[in-house]
Amino acid sequence: MPERYLKMILNARVYDVARETPLERAPLLSGRCGNRIWMKREDLQPVFSFKLRGAYNKIAHLDAEECERGVIAASAGNHAQGVALGASRRGVKALIVMPRTTPQIKVASVRALGARIVLHGDSYDEAYEHARKLAEDRGMVFIHPFDDPLVIAGQGTVGMEILRQFTGDLHAIFVPVGGGGLIAGVAAYVKALRPGIRVIGVEPDDAPSLYTALARKRRVALKQVGIFADGAAVRRVGKETFSMARKFVDEVILVSTDEICAAIKDIYDDTRSIVEPAGALSVAGLKKYVEAKGLRDADLVAINSGANINFDRLRHVAERAELGERREALLAVTIPERPGSFRRFCKALGQRSITEFNYRYADTSEAHVFAGVELTGGDEERLAIIERLRQEGYPVVDMTDNELAKLHVRHLVGGHAPGLENELLYRFEFPERPGALLGFLTAIGAKWNISLFHYRNHGAAYGRVLAGIQVPPADRAGFQRFLDELGYMYWNEADNPAYALFLGGG
């Protein structure tokens, strides 16, 4: 298999549309990590992603009869642009099926490249199935985003360029993983020529399709996947890509949303460019690997795979980056409700910058403070602050890794609701499209009273909702059936300490 793919990669036709992107040293990140970090700048491609390599290589190998039939693909972003550009370059008609939740900026980008667009479904899976049906009905050639040998070979040219650009002793290459096309191509090429170089995949910890498949030694369809790194939100890794990963990939690392946000900031600090969440996976994984292994003075490559990020998402990235870098702690602290309490509390924190300070009266005896504290010493300093506050007599709950607190409570500190009965608290994610919020409210509020509601959207395909719903005990079974039939991802947050401290009812 390596020899077969080596030949395919060497003969891949990508440079009619793609460019050989630079391999750039990241001096600031290198200094912080104690290693020499190199970034492969696929965010500099004409469509700001590596995806056009594989898409065009597939289209370039179509014969005249296939070109006449036209091509079709399912995608919410980068693959769609690659197919549209590749088809335009060859004069082939292209139809792209995109979920209705696709942000308008991505729809407009694909349309500007000359493709026709069909909006269908709320998810990639629904768009994919519809595209497959249209391909069969209309006789069009389906361009798979990752599970196709020619697509894999096109992506493998990234690995070919890395080895041509760096001839020294390279320790590892870190590759973002969605469906597995990029890592399969890179690993096949690298292991054929320089098998001593480690090839390490990086996935979001809420979309571990390859990680889970390798652990179970078979492909697994995940029940749900996270939405932040949407470019890597794939429920099941490809059949061909999984087969190759089992042979050539050394390991897969999982990273959190906060770690991805911190990596986006790291890349910006060194390049002044802003990559998308999936495009920063490799840097996030590299940092985690270096810390876990205690690695020093090695050469490491991270593939910055894409930069198609909506501007609205930047506020969420900035909000979470300091947490991901462990440069901020979020603490819930109970203080006495009496004059001078705030001053005494701030004195106990010492000479540290306060990044956030939210307060709401609880009762005549105590108050709850939601505070952000800037850190310079990471987790060690955070634990020391908590210990000092407790020694001073303050009850403290660490909210730094509490998703409810980070997504909602820090924006919603409004106090308790005395006398409120039968309140349940749930966090939801639902497909974002025109009228989606109204539809959600109509569905969830048709039978039970909504007692708390907080909605956030960061320019993504999904909205995030925190809802308190009053459900009498006799209705609980019916409410659970309603949740299951609703079809949205949800989390019961009734036992979350952030709820008890800042939002809970009577």
Length, in residues, of the chain = 506
Q: Among all chains, which residue has been given the structure tokens 């190759």?
A: 244
SS3 321: helix
Most distant CA atoms of the chain, gap in Å: 82
The rounded distance, in Å, linking the Cα atoms of 282 and 130 is 32
Number of neighbouring beta carbons within 10 Å of residue 307: 21
User: Of 40, 51, 191, 406, which residue is the catalytic one?
Assistant: 51
Given a contact cutoff of 8 angstroms between Cβ atoms, the answer to whether 412 and 467 are in contact is no
3 state SS for 323-350: HHCCCEEEEEEEEECCCCHHHHHHHHHC
Outline where 350-435 has alpha helix (H). 378-391, 403-407
Distance between CA atoms of residues 239 and 221, nearest Å: 12
Q: Which residues contact 165 (CB under 8 A, 6 or more apart)?
A: 22, 23
Catalytic residue among 75, 256, 305, 451: 305
State whether the Cα torsion 301-302-303-306 is positive or negative: negative
Residue labelled with tokens 């310079």: 376
243 is catalytic: no
Whether 191 is catalytic is no
Closest CA to 367 of 333, 410, 402: 333
Question: Which residues, in sequence order, are bridge partners of residue 97?
Answer: 74, 118
Antiparallel, parallel or unpaired: β 170-176 and 198-204: parallel
Q: State how far the Cα of 404 lies from the Cα of 449, in Å rounded to an integer.
A: 21
Q: Can you tell me the distance from the alpha carbon of 131 to that of 138, in angstroms, rounded to the nearest whole number? A: 10
Alpha-carbon span 497 to 506, nearest angstrom: 15
Short-list 34, 47, 39, 78, CA closest to 268? 39
Alpha carbons 453 and 437: distance in angstroms, whole number: 11
DSSP string, 31-83: HHHTSEEEEEEGGGSTTSBTHHHHHHHHHHT--HHHHHH-EEEE-SSHHHHHH
Task: Kindly state the DSSP code that residue 140 receives in the 8-state scheme.
Answer: P
What six digits make up the tokens of 155? Answer: 């992506």
Q: What are phi and psi of 38, to 5 degrees?
A: -120, 135
Q: Which positions are catalytic?
A: 51, 305
